Amino acid sequence: MRRGVANEDRHYDDFEVPYEEGMSVLDALRWIRTNVDSTLAIRYSCINANACKTCVALVNHEVEYTCIAKLTPGVITVEPLPKRRLIRDLVTDTVPDEEKL
């Protein structure tokens, strides 16, 4: 998973998550934040209703809603959206530049 903030060195951290059938990528991210690293920055609201659209990230280099992207056994890569301003870790700016005052 890519970590870091804008304008600083970014790096990848590896995490091992106990896999359960049916888990989403967001479930894994929440598990990491609860059990391993509380500083991990992620954004979500509805958790798995695919209603808030805030949990979007790159999962294995594809744009996905992490709450509905199924976790699979093995290595997956999660990164922030590349065309949005990075805030920290997986959190990017959600307001388009043309809508900012």
Instruction: Count Cβ atoms below 10 Å from residue 18 Cβ, excluding itself.
Output: 8
Residue range at the interface with ligand FES (CB under 6 A); choices 3-11, 30-38, 52-60, 90-98? 52-60
24 pairs with which residues across the strands? 70
Task: Give the β-pairing of 56-59 and 62-65.
Answer: antiparallel
Q: Which of 17, 54, 84, 94: binder of ligand FES (CB under 6 A)?
A: 54
CB 33 within 8 A of CB 81: no
Half-sphere exposure of 50 (CA within 13 A, CB side): 7
Contacting ligand FES (CB under 6 A), which of 17, 52, 76, 81? 52
Task: Select 40 or 65, whichever has its Cβ closest to ligand FES.
Answer: 65
Contact 44, 27 (CB under 8 A): no
For the segment 31-50, give every residue that binds ligand FES (CB under 6 A).
Answer: 44-47, 50
Nearest residue to the partner ligand FES, using Cβ? 67
Which of residues 10 and 76 has its CB atom nearest to ligand FES in the complex? 76
Residues forming contacts to ligand FES in the complex (CB under 6 A) are 44-47, 50-55, 65, 67
